[in-house]
Amino acid sequence: MSKTSQWIAGINAVAAAVEHDADHVREVLIEAGAKNPRLTEIEENARRKDIDVRRVATNAIDGVTGGLRHQGVVARYAAAKTYNEDDLPELIEAAAGKALLLVLDGVQDPHNLGACLRSAAAAGVTAVVIPKDKAVQVNATVRKTSAGAADSVPVVRVTNLARAMRDIQQLGVWIYGLAGESTASLYSVDLRGNVALVLGGEADGLRRLTREHCDGLVTIPMPGLANAPGVESLNVSVATGVALFEAVRQRG
């Protein structure tokens, strides 16, 4: 676990960081001359919390975001924690038998990862596990899409996803992978104890080794597909929300 510093961009992401985690916001840069009332609101809120705020030229903001659409505001953010596989035992133990993990196998689109993190935070997920390679990492786009959730839920980056899943199982966690061809419904499995839900990437779904390390494969029933030619499955972020909130429902 370590501390990092990076820029986050966009009105929602910066507003959420200032409102909910001001201790880790080092400074806010706002486009000079911008008239958006939400930018004024962010500036006033940041000053109330003794955060340094500067009005700067647009090209200065462009420079720190690398061309990412920023809506006229960025913040230098010192994220409290980054996690790796060595932190999983402590996170799972702290959940006291009710750990809920989200494992993402090769999600490539930062908007999808951001949306998954947003659902994970809302569902009270214990940790989100992502591979270090061949998958998008938590970057400025992810932070913006997650509207602050990227810094409120532990994101655990692992070197070898299959090995991490095996370690998770040894810690008493049941692992269920979502696969469209499965005949077992998501709604038929018990999600109330220590559970990990695994979802695959946008193109290929779950990889072979990932499937082999699941205790079971389940599917989200989609009766409308028969009447929707060309629609094969749910977007990974939508499927993540459905699966996580079924676990929330069961835990009641």
For 127, the 3-state DSSP assignment is strand
CATH of domain 82-251: 3.40.1280.10
Among residues 152, 167, 149, 154, the alpha carbon closest in space to that of 102 is found at: 154
Among residues 156, 159, 154, 158, the alpha carbon closest in space to that of 80 is found at: 154
Taking only the tens place, the pLDDT of each residue in 7-65 is 888 998 899 888 877 878 899 999 998 889 999 999 999 999 999 999 999 899 988 88
Taking only the tens place, the pLDDT of each residue in 79-108 is 656 789 999 999 999 999 999 999 999 999
**Which residues participate in the annotated binding site?**
200, 220, 234
Domain ranges of the chain: 2-81, 82-251
Mark residue 9 as left, alpha or beta (left: phi above 0; alpha: psi -120 to 50; beta: remaining): beta
Q: Please tell me the distance from the alpha carbon of residue 153 to that of residue 47, in angstroms, as a whole number.
A: 26
**Which residues participate in the annotated binding site for S-adenosyl-L-methionine?**
200, 220, 234
Whole-prediction pTM value?
Answer: 0.74
- Which architecture characterizes domain 2-81 according to CATH? 2-Layer Sandwich (3.30)
For residue 183, the 8-state DSSP code is S
